[in-house]
Structure 1
């Protein structure tokens, strides 16, 4: 579906559309994190290597001392002994020769032992580092398994547990503590969602009673003008409260987990219906709307939640737009899934303030008209329920770019 709709007097909409890529994690920060994650392993490796080297050095030193102390008792077997017939000078000369030869042999043995010790120490240094690395990996293997399992657990899967088996040691104690923490978090999240849903339901009864009372007061014969005006204002406020309660219910449902009513939903039909519902407001503001969505674009998910997602995107684009402004809606399929983009013009925005818009009851200052609500927070919750995400970017030329990615992996049953 590709069309251009003009509400009111069209203006010159020629512009340069800058497609901003979704900002991914900083590579340098990822490298630093990876380096830090290996600090414990490096410490274990160094510790084990130092222990092995100290032990090896001590063992070689002991062998060197023992060999040095026993070397003086070694007499070459090929030397003939001194006989009794030798004269005293000849015997003394013979003794000096034997002492010199013994000293030379001792020096050679010492040098050979020292060279062998240095080679053995170098070999042991390499072996100790490798062996230390192997032992460090084996010691840290349970911790890495716990880390991977914990990272897979999110707010939508708090019912999962690590369930580490094995002997009762420090690692299992840590895993059991994390499981207890997850159990408390799950109970807290469930209680919060149940409270929001129950409170929203219970508040509808007094609102209905108040609306009925106003209708009865206005329906009387010849009502007072001030009464009618007050009733109109009260009706508008009651509608706002009712709309807010409906948003709470949708938000609680989107945060509850996997949608049970999954089906293939035509994205183009949802956009067309949402634009039709806000056509009056768009005409009043004189907005130019450009839709570039292929007619066969289908996404898997909950029809009710996806309808609310598209409706909130269109409502946000119309409500928070300048008079005579423009809206561009596009969709495309990529490796991560279907990407729905809604762009609007306007004044330059601060990206730090834009990042807060996905939180409930947040808005951008006084320049963005309308009261704060749950619009984009509901969009973020519905996208997360469909394994997707919401990205908000301040356009360099002014205005806002809202991008919603819906994962293709959620195949309806």
Structure 2
């Protein structure tokens, strides 16, 4: 943005300076032509002078005693040549001095144009700075441009009005997510409790128990999907606050909590931790690490490994072994409810929101995510996060 701003400022300065220079050159040419045309013809003026001298000689005969000398022949050409040289010298001096003055004034015009361009662009700079600081967590910022009711003031007021409408929309979304979180979780919790109570009855027939287990599994998947959608909506809204979070400690805690899942899938967990602090939401960051680790465990081969590294950017790298992944299929993994193959579309491995949530959480922290196929199979996912200020 600074380069764009400097470019516009330079263009305006060049425009102001160029217009002044063109106007100065036109004025210099007009002044030169007016002075040149106002000067008398050298031949006629020389003849007039010689004629006057001849007349003076006629009334006063040339005598050495009186100091009067007769006008020699060819005096007209000599006087005409002298006058022509004088005119040429005068016009040259006028042209050179005017050109020097024009250069000085042009430099002054460029400086004044730079200053004026800064004043003209100042409201736009304020708009740019406000827009750069805007986010879902800081929608209360406004330009509030002071000044006369001109086009820039109208643009700033229009921008502020747009921000008011966006802030209202974000508030409505926050209220909706908060209400949906309660309204969606409560019925599922009630259903799960009723099913567990029915299955706890010692007189329940086997058919009822099989139906209860199927309903519990369906209920669990629904809870996972709703939880994932709520986390996705929360991360898409941005962060309301940021605190220093030790990412290495979060990753270590997630690995400890994932030990049973790794044992269940016969996967070995490996860690390479360096102290790394990021500014953000600890709950969302924990969810980001959890999703990556669980995906790396679940979509792995028996006897495979999951390597987790925390350090400088990329702040987090999670790599697993497993089947080869097509490079052209990797971008689809970050879309909601998208998986690679038939095995990944099975209903036993989550709701398909894991990497979508990872990308959304990283973007909420002003970071990014990349994925690439592993050299010997599996997937490598890296997360870039900004350094703590």
With the shorter chain as reference, the TM-score category is 0.7 to 0.9
Q: What do the CA deviations read for 1:211-252 (whole angstroms, capped 9, x no partner)?
A: 344345545564443332222111101011112223344445
SS of structure 2 residue aligned to 1:257? coil
The alignment status of 1:170 with 2:143, answered yes or no, reads: no
Separation in structure 2 between the aligned mates of residue 129 and residue 301 of structure 1, nearest angstrom: 47
Separation in structure 2 between the aligned mates of residue 109 and residue 259 of structure 1, nearest angstrom: 76
Which range moves more in the overlay, 272-281 or 310-319? 272-281
The alignment status of 1:208 with 2:189, answered yes or no, reads: yes
Counterpart selection for 2:55 from 74, 84, 87:
84
The alignment status of 1:283 with 2:254, answered yes or no, reads: no
Conserved 8 A contact 1:355-1:392: no
Given the superposition, is the C-alpha separation of residues 159 and 286 from structure 1 closer, same or farther in structure 2, using an over 3 Å criterion? same
Aligned ranges 1:121-160 → 2 under 5 Å:
121-160=102-141
Deviation, structure 1 residue 169 = 2.1
Tell me what 2:321 maps to: 345
Given the superposition, is the C-alpha separation of residues 182 and 234 from structure 1 closer, same or farther in structure 2, using an over 3 Å criterion? same
Conserved 8 A contact 1:158-1:182: yes
The alignment status of 1:67 with 2:67, answered yes or no, reads: no
Greater relative contact order structure (CA < 8 Å, 6+ sep): 1
Separation in structure 2 between the aligned mates of residue 266 and residue 92 of structure 1, nearest angstrom: 108
Deviation, structure 1 residue 204 = 2.4
Which range moves more in the overlay, 107-116 or 322-331? 107-116
Aligned ranges 1:2-401 → 2 under 5 Å:
38-72=6-40, 81-84=52-55, 86=57, 93-215=74-196, 217-219=198-200, 222-254=203-235, 255=237, 257-259=239-241, 267-268=248-249, 270-293=250-273, 303-332=282-311, 334=312, 339-349=315-325, 353-355=329-331, 357-366=333-342, 368=344, 370-383=349-362, 387=365, 389-395=367-373, 397=375, 398-401=377-380
- The answer for unaligned runs of 5 or more in structure 2 is 60-69
Count of aligned residue pairs for this structure pair: 369
SS of structure 2 residue aligned to 1:84? helix
Structure with the higher helix share, 1 or 2: 2
SS of structure 2 residue aligned to 1:230? helix
Which range moves more in the overlay, 214-223 or 392-401? 214-223
Given the superposition, is the C-alpha separation of residues 42 and 302 from structure 1 closer, same or farther in structure 2, using an over 3 Å criterion? closer
Separation in structure 2 between the aligned mates of residue 357 and residue 156 of structure 1, nearest angstrom: 28
SS of structure 1 residue aligned to 2:315? strand
- The answer for unaligned runs of 5 or more in structure 1 is 1-32
Separation in structure 2 between the aligned mates of residue 64 and residue 50 of structure 1, nearest angstrom: 21
Deviation, structure 1 residue 382 = 4.5
Q: What do the CA deviations read for 1:192-227 (whole angstroms, capped 9, x no partner)?
A: 232123123112233234334434554556444333
SS of structure 2 residue aligned to 1:155? coil
Q: What do the CA deviations read for 1:29-88 (whole angstroms, capped 9, x no partner)?
A: xxxx87655443343233212320222122212321232133218979xx8851535469
Deviation, structure 1 residue 317 = 1.6
SS of structure 2 residue aligned to 1:137? helix
RMSD in angstroms over aligned alpha carbons?
Answer: 3.8
Which range moves more in the overlay, 47-56 or 308-317? 308-317
Deviation, structure 1 residue 394 = 0.8
Flag the structure with larger Rg. 2
